[in-house]
Amino acid sequence: MKIIVTGGTGFIGRALINELAGQRHEVVVLTRKAGRPSRSVLRFVEWDARSAGPWQTELASAHVVINLAGEPIADGRWTESRKQLLLNSRILTTKLLVDALAGQSTNHPILVSASGIGYYGASDDRLLDERSSLGEGFLAGLSAAWEAEALRASQFGTRVVLLRTGMVLEQDGGALPKMLLPFRLFAGGPILPGTQWVSWIHRRDLIGLIQWAIATPTVSGPVNAVAPEAVTMKTFCATVGKVLHRPSWLPVPGLALRVALGDLGTLMTTGQRVHPAKALAGGYDFRYPTLEPALRAIVAKG
């Protein structure tokens, strides 16, 4: 298939495009970083994620569009300008992409568009699946607006899949390396209160879910991209300590995080207990359904 990817140079996108190219799909990465070397099945096409351009011609023969574009959520304090950047990098980019798809009168590729479990807002012990309602807060509003832009593509015959992704685990990016460092220094421990739920997924399974969604014609709408085993923050950190042979003894006060990071700190002290109901019902076989084997596989890489 010909597969177009936005956000293909990020933490998730890098691994995804290499996997797809390794399977001999024709992969076209839309990127603001021009001049990257291309291979026979992997090409980089320049776009600015804001305006129409020659990149649109690639859509005419595409079978799939995977939209991963967006500034990292946890890379800085959520100032008002940072919040606007997070919104624009997702909503305006998705709008541009869907507008371009709308101009394709004969070709309607599958659209797999990123979203997040922040859609559900902060929750207690309730088990949330794809039928659960929209929550409250900045991330919930961002996710809802992001999804609404992607869903516009369904109006002209495109099958749209919305990946509501949890914490993605791997050793070369995301939140995990930052969490592992204090444990390696014998200073690890849970972010208090410790009872908040962490819904996570190994990057290998996230890539697998994307491929499964593409190959399964009956899948559309929101899909929770999380492992079947959500855990509390206390359990998550205890498991990290067990895998690294380190104690999990130095808790991080939630108040200190909220003072230092504002709304971003609140995100780290709350959570969601999310269940991948659609993926399990549709037959997706998780390689890492539980946390300890996932962490051991990551740590074993060094």
pLDDT tens, the chain, 302 aa long: 999 999 998 999 999 999 999 999 999 999 987 666 677 789 999 999 899 999 999 999 999 999 999 998 877 788 899 999 999 999 999 999 999 999 887 778 999 999 999 999 988 899 999 999 999 999 999 999 999 999 999 998 899 999 999 999 999 988 888 888 889 888 888 988 999 999 999 999 999 999 999 999 999 999 999 999 999 999 999 999 999 999 998 888 776 666 666 766 777 788 999 999 999 999 999 999 999 999 999 999 86
Query: Strand pairing of 2-6 and 200-202?
Result: unpaired
The one-letter amino acid at 184: R
pLDDT of the residue at 35:
65
Distance CA 170, CA 257 (A): 24
Token pair 């008002």 is found at: 80
173 phi and psi, to 5 degrees?
A: 170, 180
Asked whether the beta carbons of 107 and 62 are under 8 A apart, the reply is: yes
N-term to C-term CA, the chain: 34
103, with CB counted inside 10 A (0-12, 13-18, 19+), is exposed
To the nearest 10 degrees (0 to 180), the angle between helices 176-184 and 233-244 is 60
Outline where DSSP puts E strands in 82-172: 110-116, 127-128, 160-165, 167-169
pTM, to two decimals: 0.94
Distance CA 145, CA 115 (A): 10
Distance CA 65, CA 167 (A): 23
Among residues 6, 2, 19, which one has the least CA distance to residue 209? 19
Q: Which fold has domain 2-169+201-226+275-281?
A: Rossmann fold (3.40.50)
pLDDT of the residue at 120:
96
